[in-house]
Structure 1
Amino acid sequence: MTENKYKFAIQTSNNGILNIPLTEGNALFVLGANGVGKSTLMHKLFEQNFDHTKRILAHRQTWFTDNTMNLTARDKKSNEQDMKNRDRQVTSRWKDDYSSSRSSITIFDLINSENIRARNITKEVDNDNLAQAKKLSNIQAPLESINELLALSNIPIVISLMKDEQLFASKNGSEPYSIAELSDGERNALLICSDVLTTEPNQLIILDEPERHLHRSIISPLLSSLFQKRKDCVFVISTHDVFLPIDHSEASVLLLRSCQWNGKNIKDWDADLISEADEIPSSIKREILGSKRNILFVEGDYESLDRQVYSLIYPNISVMPQGSCTQVEKAVEGIKGTEKLHWINSYGLIDADDRTEEQIQNLLNKGIAALTCYSVEALYYNLEIVKRIAKRLAEVLGQDETELFEKATSGIISVLIPHKTRLCSRLCEKQVRNSVMTGLPKHKDIQEKGNFELKINLKDIQEKEEAHFDKLVADKNLDGLISRYPVRETPVLTKIATGLGMTRDKYESAVRKLIIDDKETKEYFKTLLKPLTTLIEK
């Protein structure tokens, strides 16, 4: 898609006409207090992009009349067109004549998308095109996506489509009950998820005040996950909550301070476009002091596996990727050293990178735990987790779990051996860098004006690591190999997933689902992350 498909131009009192870039895969937060013209601005944005926009209103109805389709396809299409035309009128900013129809259409779209997927798979099976049927089945079902999103957002409910096309919910393994009986927050989260996931491709999604009826610990991870699910769309989110753009530092922020009226229309806004949420003025941040928040800073970015799995293991913590380990350390130290942010508890998780025990302990004293494995993939593909996934699959498919597990793991060593030299050198690279940094002269050394030399025997380091690799192979220590080396740079992870009859994405999604469903698995992951767990729970 071209960037200029989406238009957002506003008249400002301080910056002239402000043309705001909107590109698919990115999000823009419109932040401002009550009375600064946010709803009028959102209506203007809707008008500018009428043909390719889905608007989720702030004053949306969050209750259902029932839990099934109560519209015909013809009624749904007619109501949809009437609603969109009605939304063009200025009164739609505060009045909604189709509030009940909106929630009914959302449920219709959700059930319909589930049925379309099932019909497409059945059609390929009937045509004996099993490869295509399997390919379609590997695409996550809408309800499966919603349940994963809800779990990632700390909402412990599971939505199911049951007899007579009725949607039911279950909380913590309870008996199913109608979605009409969900709480306000749960219904709101379900509606937002359904609206976004069933939106046509390449659309502008305008989401007004998503925080309504939802706690901050829910809406922030919910938005993060929705952004990842719909990278083909543009998101513009209007909010009063300063923490939402702060939690999504990769997004842009349109900061509204005030507006000037000319009769019934807004003449212009006092507005600034901020490329990073970190630039939001501290005076505005200080206006919102909620209860103490727990934030875990991790390496990687918002698209990485880290954020998703840690959000599930520690559901009461906001997980914020920071890129490198240095940035994680700076983020934690910055918050702990800033009294103005005293309502935040911050923790960090970084790779061990062959640090000494003394260095690791010093980090722990600062609130930063070191991951004992090379990368987060070692958690996903830990053999105990692979075994649990094999068991779950075996129960569904009626196969032998031991055979499934053996098929997934039997070729790990043979796949890794050809990559031995590179895997060892990649690990040694971290060791060498650590040696260089710790061996640099201190200011006292410099004052003595002597010579500085640093010699590293790379041959010995590499050969020592290769000997360790050989020992792990000889001992058939598969977990040791997976956790110590950057195995994501080899075919081994794909080998494990395909051995279970899954793609890597499907397998990793299954691991997250296992954490959601099984408390013992969540606790097992906490033991794998014991230093961090101890920090958080002390």
Structure 2
Amino acid sequence: MDYLCKLLYEEIVGIYDRINENSLDKLEFTLKPDMVGNRGIRPIYNHMVNIVNKVQNVEFLRLVECFSVLKHLDGHNKTLIVLGPNGSGKSSFANYMKTLDTHVKVIPASKPIKTHGLVQQLYDSTIEKYNQQLYSNGGEDTNLLNKLIIGICSEHADLAMKFYDTKKANGKSTYEKVKEIFDDFFEVKLDYSQFSQKQMMCKKGDGAPYTFNQMSDGERVAFFYIATVLSAPEQSFIIVDEPENHLNPAIYNKIWDRLIEVRSDCQFIFISHTIDFISARTNYELMRISEFEYPSNFKFEFLGESIENIPNQMIVDLVGSRKPVLFCEGSKVDFDYKIYEALFGEKYTIIPTGNCTTVKDCVTACGLHARKLSIPAAIGIIDSDLKTSTEMDTLKNKGIYTLKCNEIEMLMLDEVVFKAVLERRFKSASVFDEFKGEFFEKTRSEKERIVKRLVKAEIDGIITRTTIDDKANKTKEDFQNNLSAIYNSIDVDFLWSNYEGKIDAIVDGGDYTDALRICCLEHREIMPGLTNKFVSDYSDTALGIIRTDKNVQEQVKQKYFPDIT
């Protein structure tokens, strides 16, 4: 950073002299008014002086803008990873940075991965010219890869000639450095047999050399990454947009680890949403663009390596979201995520967290770090898991909503959903009554197992909510007596008979909604176990209906999630 700022400062100081030397001095020599009899020349001269002054001002302001951007990065010397939703200014940041100086190298998301044959006007390309032209024109240079390869060929040939003349080695050429890294990762090896024709070749084993374009996309992109990074001037900023593009996940982390190690004099800035890439980084810092006003007004928020109680995968999703966030249990392959995405995905970014504890932790953490993460709000949905109404109300006050049936699989058995499945599969609505009858019978036959789980859940809740006051209980005997009192207060006989009575009342009264709320049998016992007796592949059809039927979606939301708008 200090080195780049020093270069920019020297450029600012040299603006006036450089412009005068290149333009005004020549103008004075040819149009100096005192040397010309015709006074009509003076207005032309004055006009040209004004133009030169304006050019100076424009160049000065551009460099001042450069400083205003770079000052935000001062002190952040680790590898930086830029996060943010589409439209937040990430690509604009990369595009702007590449205009600052030849010591800022930007590798865009769209990489040149094929050469275009020998272009005569590029024959004198050098690595220095390549560094000056690396996307400096603001767009994609279709000959960029050609320029890079020709520059590498020319430099290697020059060093070889100097060694031939002086018999003194002058360090490794860029080609040798690139080949050393490239060959470590790929079976194909780089070959210099056509350097006299300014062409990069490659070969496998003892086979004949073949052209650069015959390599795979991944091999060519890896060469471009490696060669561009190794060609960069000392103490450069190297900004890489989508560093994992075209590369196998098994290899891109190792390549970038190696390049960061070899170019430890440079600072790397990656723009990536790939958690495998981000998680593999060491000594890094996450940052997001908190404000962006085109073309060059950037403000940044630095997030460190992590945020307490929020896994990095979720940080990537959170920072990449412009919507409120809804945390749920499970993963992206589970029913929880798929159903909540269908019901709430238009308004919320749905993020699965694994279990109910992490849902609670993430909602709490987002409340603490809402400004840093720049998210409007965060809520959570968890399975009821036989929670009491008191527990549910407490969670609701914290923004965590409890499903109004025991688990998400039970929601898929709701009468509205079930009858929609029957209609989709051209079956009579009366099949639902047949299923319901067997469901109640299953509930009655497994009553003891259900009661046992209900009683356990209530006892767990009592113990969780109970604390021992160490001020009131001063001795070991006090603690023992207090603990005994807690356990003695739990009347298992009462709880057991109470839940037996509730289950009997639900089954005898045919209360299907309450049955779904308390049913805690294993998933596969009911779905697909029982459902597939009536509708084959029931769960897939039910999920498809919830995803596509707006009427079913609205009824499900009103019944199970009336407080989520």
Give the TM-score normalised by the residue count of structure 2. 0.46
Bigger CA radius of gyration:
2
More strand by share: 1
Of structures 1 and 2, the one with the larger relative CO (CA 8 A, separation 6+) is 1
So what's the TM-score if we normalise by structure 1? Answer: 0.48
